Structure 1
Amino acid sequence: MGQQDTTAFDALLEGAVDQQRRRVLKVGAAVRVAGSLVFLLIVGVLWLAGRKDWAPYPLPLTLYLLAAVALFAVHGKRFVQWLDVAQSAVDVGLVFWVQHAALPLSRFPAGIAGFSLGLFSLVVVLSSLTLVPGVAYATAVLSAVAQAVLMREADVSYGSVATASVVLVLVAFMSQYGSQRLRQLVLALTRTEVERQVEARRFQEVEQARATIEKMLAEVRTQNEQLLGLQRDKDLLIQFLVHDLRSPLSALSMTFSWLESELAEGDLTLLQGVRTGLAVTGRMERMISELLDLPRLEEGRLELRPQRIDTASVFEEVRQAFVGATQLRRLSLEVEAPAGLMLQGDRALLTRVVENLVANALRYTPPGGRVRLEAGTEAGAPYLAVRNDGPSIAPELRPRLFDKHVQGEQERTTRKGYGLGLYFSRLAVEAHGGRIAVEDAPGWGTSFVARLPSAPGESSRAA
């Protein structure tokens, strides 16, 4: 490719990237306007209803809404990306202002400080819409500092402060990593295709060369549309992680823990409900950890924490987490494990494996059906099995069932899940030196069996 062709090509790509950046920034501006308006309405209603602990919020939210509306109004200008950089700092300042003002008025300062982590995570995600990695990481660092100040004022331990800081940095990394890699891949593929077409153009007539260039521009536009689609998919996943899980989870878990301590000598039925809630929130926390651990498992960087595990206690913990789901669907969740059967492995990872298998079994078991958690030994080696009497898995799907993003027909038609649960389970079992597969068992439609080695290897690092 000649110097003139290279310059024109780079200018074309730069224009396309700039166009997509402005579109993404428009989305970020709209999110800020909508979010601040909704929060202002909720806070206003609570304040007017006499809740004095909400008094610090209306003024900063009103000022922030005005700034967000102004930013949305000028989103099409070329200088707006620099305004978005400044907006990230304003976002952090707003969250710190309102939460710092609310701490002295709250009956549970630690809960206010914990809830701030979800707000700062949202701010980091919004800052990543600038498509400038430095902005996202700078926002994460600034948010970590502000979060640390709030948590220490609420007398939260230094360990929790450090964990919150790590979470914010990981959110910034997850927000940037996928989009940057996809952008590099699209640019590399586009440049290769353009070079091939330009080389062919040199040996053709002028009209043929013009047709080739038009085809090249059409392909670039198609790839830009694909990039937008991938960006939307990434944004949906981040919204699921931040909005539906992390933001309310810390406050919810602390509330359940407080209720459990208050009800220690009270209503046993209500206490059981609170403990079920604690089990469910614990499972949600493990789901978040699963999403964060998956890349490290794939790259062999996840350090295992081996210990002696009582299989019966693991099965009981999982059973408690799914009590509500089984009762709702009138399912029988059985546990069959020999007393004293011990395993050597990472308890958290193996618990998440069993949870994934049980969730998958409950999804396919018809109402009134049975699901069994089973453990035992065969040929001196332990195994963990989850069986159900639902429909069996098609033979052609079994060889690739544990691959990434592979889903059954039900998930594809209902658009539920991401096809990661069984893939994570396979990586976690293989990290222990074992294997997992679908096996036939008399009386059961489907049986997932994880077979572990009889003696652990010397290495505790996932391979």
Structure 2
Amino acid sequence: MDVSAKKQTASDLPPAAAEAVESAQREKDEFLSLVAHELKTPLTPLKTVAQLIRMRVRRARDGSRELDVESLDKNAAMIERQVDRMDRLVTDLLEVSRAAQGRFVLRAAPFDVAAVARDVVRRWSEASEETEDRHHLEIDAPETLPLVGDQERVRQLIGSLIGNAIKFSPSGGLVDVRVAGDDGVVTVSVRDAGIGIAPEEIPAIGREPFATRERTKNYAGLGIGLYLARLVAEGHGGRLRLASAGEDRGTTATVTLKDMPTEEATATTL
């Protein structure tokens, strides 16, 4: 039996169906290319640092130069940050898959959201020092700010907001992070001076994963950070809001979070 004869190609389908098939194939190919690029990007600095470490070890071994432990520590920290970047990407992809299957689960426990925000800002500040376009991160947060919620997903949310602000501010500049609490509601806002958003585009952003605007197609990323941030915010009884005065006038992303019930895990589904 000739199995190939039974396979239907796009050319065998009605024009509308054939176009839909070809469009889906193009989107899949673009997505796979984008994921491959995002995973490959951290590998270049990792290899460079690995080569630098080996060179320093060789020089120390042959006695031409003493081993600089402080420099090695900085190299190791850089490797750690690049691995963290790859881990965030893979984690985000898994989270989108879980959300699509209705398995996006938030587990509530008390934690200090102000401390989490400061730690995320510190890590992003360290990472930005390795880029050519330096960004200056500032944070305004109370000493402590308790919240009952999913600490790791809130950490992921804040990191996504900061990552977006940095990505869409290609010339560098200030990224201002503010954390506040009022009447049981925690507010986290991240403001940048980047490329901004056209007013008509704001309602659709963060509603679907892998969605990109025409103006952002030349920027790295999978377009899932704000989508996941919205899920986390809504799972905490809050919301994600975006504000911009227009293109090239920066963006402010704001999320509100409320205490979750601690009796059981709360599932947020699409």
**With structure 2 as the length reference, what TM-score do the two structures score?**
0.71
Q: Between the two proteins, what is the percent identity of the paired residues? A: 26
Shift of 1:367: 3.2
Partner of 1:289: 91
Compared CA separation, residues 226 and 324, structure 1 to 2 (3 A) = closer
Q: Distance in 1 between matches of 2:26 and 2:196?
A: 34
Residues of 2 paired with 1:300 and 1:390: CA distance?
A: 34
Residue pair 1:429, 1:452 contacting (<8 A) in 2 also = yes
- 1:181-235 C-alpha deviation (Å, 9 max, x unpaired): xxxxxx9xx6xxxxxxxxxxxxxxxxxxxxxxxxx4x566555544543453454
Partner of 2:64: none
Aligned counterpart, 1:88:
none
Q: How does 1:362-401 map to 2 (within 5 A)?
A: 362-365=166-169, 367=171, 369-401=173-205
Give the structure with higher Rg (CA).
Answer: 1
- Quick check: 1:383–1:452 contact (8 Å CA) kept in 2? yes
State the partner residue of 1:301.
103
* 8 Å Cα contact 1:298-1:427 kept in structure 2: no
Q: What is the match of residue 426 of structure 1? A: 230
TM-aligned CA distance change 1:335 to 1:280, over 3 Å: farther
Paired residue total: 243
Q: TM-score, normalised by structure 1?
A: 0.44
Structure 1 ranges of 4+ moved more than 3 A:
218-228, 237-241, 266-270
Confirm or deny: 8 A CA contact 1:280 1:321 kept in the other structure. Answer: no
The alpha-carbon distance between structure 1 residues 227 and 336, as it changes in their structure 2 partners (threshold 3 A), is closer
Amino acid in structure 2 at the alignment position of 1:244: K
- CA distance change for structure 1 residues 219 and 397 in 2, over 3 Å: closer, same or farther? closer
- 1:446 paired to 2:270: no
Structure 1: give runs of 5+ residues left out of the alignment: 1-10, 21-186, 191-215, 260-265
Structure 2: how far apart are the matches of 1:305 and 1:267? 41
In 2, are the aligned partners of 1:357 and 1:422 still within 8 Å (CA)? Answer: yes
Q: CA deviation at 1:350?
A: 1.5
Larger % of strand: which?
2
In 1, distance between residues paired with 2:124 and 2:35? Answer: 25
Aligned to 2:40: 244
Q: How far apart, in 2, do the equivalents of 1:416 and 1:226 lie?
A: 22
The question of whether the paired residues in 2 share the 8 Å contact of 1:383 and 1:449 is answered with yes
Given the alignment, which residue of 6, 11, 21 partners 1:14? 6
Show the counterpart of 1:354: 158
Work out the CA distance in 2 between the residues paired with 1:331 and 1:238. 25
Shift of 1:308: 2.9
Secondary structure of the corresponding residue to residue 339 of structure 1: coil
Q: Which has the higher contact order (CA 8 A, sep 6+)?
A: 2
Cα deviation for residue 240 of structure 1 reads: 4.8
1:84-110 deviation per Cα after TM superposition (whole angstroms, max 9, x unaligned)? xxxxxxxxxxxxxxxxxxxxxxxxxxx
Shift of residue 411, structure 1, vs aligned partner: 1.4
